[in-house]
Structure 1
């Protein structure tokens, strides 16, 4: 598909204008058909079963083999997937060593539901975030104050908050989808004014996402996350060190399969932002050479296989949407054709800077939620029972729930984002290691009407474009993030 992206029918891709990659309708809170009550009861009681060491016997001895034939709607299939993936992850990681053979009563319906939805038979971002929340008051808009979570592994407030931050993240991401697509359309129409306006709003929307991410620490304790929540979100790919060298076996006569666990890399929104802005991520050993060299020919490098792999963990309609966007986006090509100090280039680099800032904040969360708790545990060994990933604190190369090396992967994504800046001094600023002593000072300023006012830096003497209007005071000011 090429050309005007306005032909995209968002509902066809299960993308909502108001809620982004969240469906237009809230997820089912439970399956009304009493035939599936055993699934509902078991999944709802996971925290109690894990606490009393009854998860394994309940799954193996009490869970009946149910047909999925009575899941007749897409919403019911999604609910079935949520229930069964919570049960399987709770079952696998309920003991140490983990359980590697899945009973037929769980494996068979999960494989069938997963096949119908085109998703892996493991807890994914879809099952713990996209399809696992409740709206408190459906007459009101989605907000953190109007959301509660569905299933959890621990029953803790911390786990609920961890999921809800991501739910609201996706809700706010609808703004990014809107402004990004409008920018693509503006390029197709050769409408410079509309392009600049859309990029301004896209930059602000990305900054809103960063603000939401920063709220994680309000109600999710890093140590609770690291030792109690994170282990149950892991999959069974690259998990030899915690007892699953072959993955897990789906059924008594089934095959071993290896799947990554739930990860933010499975968020279609983050990959959408990279695609629409033309941010390219490469595999290890390609562009990731230090000191870093400018990219002169992208075709000589392989694309990041982990990010591409994560797309199969996304709902099929969202994968199709990303494919359509990747074939239609024209933003980066457009700005590269503009003069070196054009407003179009500055507007684009504002978005790149916001994305770089987002990834800096994400790295900070990884530091607080994984590296620091792991370091503390190494220094003060305890006899508290740990399962799965919570037993790997002696390994400095920390694995994420997706089975990849977290810090290395996220640092690479952050650096490759900085590489995409098209203005020389912006690129230098974004790569500056010591911002406090940098020769560059970069300010992005908007007024109350969200009009872009300008930039300022010490080296190139680019001055702010002052707005003398009565209500043109600075409303949005970003300085030395």
Structure 2
């Protein structure tokens, strides 16, 4: 197993391996790119649909044959933001997407193996650049390429996730060898790998702790969160959304889940590696459903690790000692991450005043009653420490 087979690198983890700001889309996309750049200005007018309805219908299906993977992904970044702005950028929620947006994003999503709205990959993984390319992926050296309203809080929210994804790359780099180490019963090497992953998780949690520095809960809830909702289990779009001109839907509304950090592959991968499981409940079923919203290569990696990993059984058989301590340290760090997630969910969402259409304080951007289950999943993680 090699990370490169799954579009993963040790220095970037699940982040795009190409330099996104350097990707130039074909000329046919010029007006789409311009609309993305102008999107914060359009949204300020409260008539964003007036501008987006006038966009040309780019023949994406024909263009795909000559587009690189990076070009397809950057086109998806632009279109997915425009689609979300069209749906949530005005007080009244539309029943349909115009074909100038619907057909291109449908074709791009199908080509990329994803869903035709804003996914985590377009919001975070492919939507960043470095101010100084040689200075590394650090929070003081990142910028967001495409945004909605723009501003510090929106960028910080996304870029903290970018920094976390990059830090996690060092943990992902340990995985192929760990699978071999369990097969070869190399306890010394496995213990060392677990120790290094534990150190990575400490770094991840330190980065996650920085979210409040430049992302205020009120600003997040009212000016960042409204645009990233989906249309499945969303009372503002009870029947879903019509994708005008898309033959696959036969003119009927369809529903997809909104962008959420739960679409990140880091925690599911760690659960698969460590053999951590969760009882069946609505959130567990929802998280399982989110698997199809991840990039296909990352899905394959999680599935392959889940199938092959014998880490937990190896640690259980090892008895008390350094290996077990290193394993439990990671589990504690994952539980701490989930605790912080729970705290942020309370302060950034649940405690805010009721939002506008589709922006419910009781329902996550993916469409679930998140508060009810986050604590349960945190507690289940801790319950799987090996005594």
Q: Is the 8 A contact 1:176 1:273 kept in 2?
A: no
CA deviation string 1:286-320 (max 9, x = no partner):
xxxxxxxxxxxxxxxxx932122111111111111
Counting only pairs closer than 5 Å after superposition, residues 161-200 of structure 1 correspond to structure 2 as 161-200=156-195
State the match for 1:410 in structure 2: 374
- 1:275 and 2:272 matched: yes
Q: Which of 343, 347, 364 lines up with 1:364 in the alignment?
A: 343
- Structure 1 stretches lacking a partner, 5+ long: 1-7, 286-302, 379-385, 424-481
Q: Which of 225, 232, 241 lines up with 1:237 in the alignment?
A: 232
Q: Secondary structure at the match of 2:379?
A: helix
Q: Is the 8 A contact 1:93 1:387 kept in 2?
A: no
- 1:135 and 2:114 matched: no
State the match for 1:388 in structure 2: 357
Q: Secondary structure at the match of 2:42?
A: helix
Counting only pairs closer than 5 Å after superposition, residues 22-171 of structure 1 correspond to structure 2 as 22-28=15-21, 31-60=24-53, 62-68=54-60, 69-71=62-64, 72-171=67-166
Kindly state the Cα deviation for residue 28 of structure 1 after the two structures are TM-superposed. 4.2
Return the index of the structure with the highest Cα Rg: 1
CA deviation string 1:205-239 (max 9, x = no partner):
11111111011111111100011110101100110
State the match for 1:312 in structure 2: 292
Kindly state the Cα deviation for residue 282 of structure 1 after the two structures are TM-superposed. 2.5
Q: Is the 8 A contact 1:29 1:150 kept in 2?
A: no
State the match for 1:422 in structure 2: 386
TM-score, with structure 1 as normaliser: 0.76
Q: Secondary structure at the match of 1:304?
A: helix
CA deviation string 1:383-432 (max 9, x = no partner):
xxx53344x34xxxx11111111212321221111121111xxxxxxxxx
- 1:21 and 2:18 matched: no
State the match for 1:327 in structure 2: 307
CA distance in 1, matches of 2:244, 2:234: 20
CA distance in 2, matches of 1:29, 1:49: 25
Q: Is the 8 A contact 1:312 1:319 kept in 2?
A: yes
Q: Is the 8 A contact 1:148 1:160 kept in 2?
A: yes
TM-score, with structure 2 as normaliser: 0.94
Q: Secondary structure at the match of 2:318?
A: coil
Q: Is the 8 A contact 2:9 2:173 kept in 1?
A: no
CA distance in 1, matches of 2:175, 2:71: 32
CA distance in 1, matches of 2:137, 2:228: 25
CA deviation string 1:98-147 (max 9, x = no partner):
11201111101110010000000011101110011112122232111221
Q: Which of 216, 219, 222 lines up with 1:227 in the alignment?
A: 222
CA deviation string 1:247-268 (max 9, x = no partner):
1111156331111111111101
CA distance in 2, matches of 1:149, 1:352: 32
CA distance in 1, matches of 2:177, 2:23: 37
Kindly state the Cα deviation for residue 63 of structure 1 after the two structures are TM-superposed. 0.9
Kindly state the Cα deviation for residue 29 of structure 1 after the two structures are TM-superposed. 5.1
Q: Which of 231, 252, 265 lines up with 1:255 in the alignment?
A: 252
State the match for 1:289 in structure 2: none
Q: Secondary structure at the match of 2:174?
A: helix
Kindly state the Cα deviation for residue 15 of structure 1 after the two structures are TM-superposed. 0.5
Kindly state the Cα deviation for residue 276 of structure 1 after the two structures are TM-superposed. 0.5
- Structure 2 stretches lacking a partner, 5+ long: none
Residues 366 and 358 (structure 1 numbering): CA distance in 2 closer, same or farther, change over 3 Å?
same
The structure whose residues are more often helix, as a share, is: 2
Measured on the aligned residues, the alpha-carbon RMSD in Å equals: 1.7
Q: Is the 8 A contact 1:28 1:79 kept in 2?
A: no
Q: Is the 8 A contact 1:235 1:262 kept in 2?
A: yes
CA distance in 1, matches of 2:52, 2:111: 23
State the match for 1:445 in structure 2: none
